[in-house]
């Protein structure tokens, strides 16, 4: 009798252990999946906010350039080569400082750029120039500035005149500024954001 009672207790104990183990494993898997789902959703939300922040800053820069590109002396320079006066350079310098650009430049259809520092160079081979010349604002990849030799990002806007694009206005920004935007975005205690093109 004792051995039958012991066998029954052993069988019940093994069954309870198996059932408890199965429930434990099932609970662990469900909890892991729930946490993974929550973390994934939080990352999607954080990355979406980061994209909106960067997009907003970029749109602010291009909108600014589109407004400055309507300055009549810039239109005259781009369309017919009319020489810029000292007051025009002062305006260009004031506007570049107001929006934090390192330099601004007005460019004619041939790609000849007159920079706010007085430097003249040809940027006809640059993609941002080609795109803006077609009437669309453009932002470059990281490029090496032809004057300073430093890595920069260039924002370009078309210079409009009577419904056609006669030139391009571009602004140069330090590449570090894009990184600075992302530095403020953290995920958890040690997560960080980064940008790929």
21-55 per-position pLDDT tens digit: 999 999 999 999 988 898 888 878 877 887 788 88
The answer to which of 4-13, 33-42, 131-140, 178-187 has the lowest mean pLDDT is 178-187
Chain position carrying tokens 């939300």 = 45
Contact 137, 157 (CB under 8 A): yes
> pLDDT confidence of 176, banded at 50, 70, 90?
confident
* C-alpha angle 13-17-18 in degrees, rounded to nearest 5: 120
Rounded-to-5 percentages of helix, strand, coil across the chain: 55, 20, 25
- Side-chain-side CA neighbours of 94 within 13 Å: the count stands at 7
pLDDT score recorded for residue 146: 85
Pick the CATH number of 1-197 from 3.30.450.20, 3.90.320.10, 3.30.1340.10, 3.40.50.1000: 3.30.450.20
Whether the pLDDT of residue 185 is over 80: the answer is no
Phi, psi of 63, deg, nearest 5: -65, -40
Paired residues of 183 in beta bridges: none
Query: Does residue 1 or residue 171 have the better pLDDT?
Result: 171
Whether the pLDDT of residue 1 is over 60: the answer is no
**Alpha carbons 169 and 114: distance in angstroms, whole number:** 10
DSSP string, 84-140: PPHHHHHHHHHHHHHHT-SEEEEE-TT-EEEETTS-EEE-TT-HHHHHHHTT--EE-
pTM for this prediction: 0.76
């Amino acid at each position: 009798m004792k051995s039958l009672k012991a066998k029954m207790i052993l069988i019940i104990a093994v069954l309870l252990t198996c059932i408890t183990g199965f429930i434990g494993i099932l609970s662990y898997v469900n909890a892991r999946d729930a946490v993974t789902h929550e973390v994934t959703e939080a990352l999607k939300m954080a990355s979406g906010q980061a994209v909106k922040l960067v997009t907003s800053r970029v749109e602010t820069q291009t909108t600014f350039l589109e407004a400055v590109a309507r300055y009549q002396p810039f239109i005259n320079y781009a369309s017919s080569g009319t020489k810029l006066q000292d007051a025009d350079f002062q305006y260009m310098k004031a506007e570049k400082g107001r929006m934090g650009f390192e330099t601004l430049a007005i460019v004619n259809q041939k790609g000849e750029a007159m920079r706010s520092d007085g430097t003249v160079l040809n940027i006809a081979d640059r993609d941002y120039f080609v795109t803006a010349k077609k009437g669309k604002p453009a932002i470059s990849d990281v490029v090496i500035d032809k004057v300073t030799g430093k890595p920069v990002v260039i924002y370009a806007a078309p210079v409009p005149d009577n419904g056609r694009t006669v030139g391009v206005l571009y602004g140069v920004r330090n590449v570090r500024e894009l990184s600075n935007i992302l530095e403020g975005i953290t995920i958890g205690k040690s997560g960080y954001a980064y940008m790929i093109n």
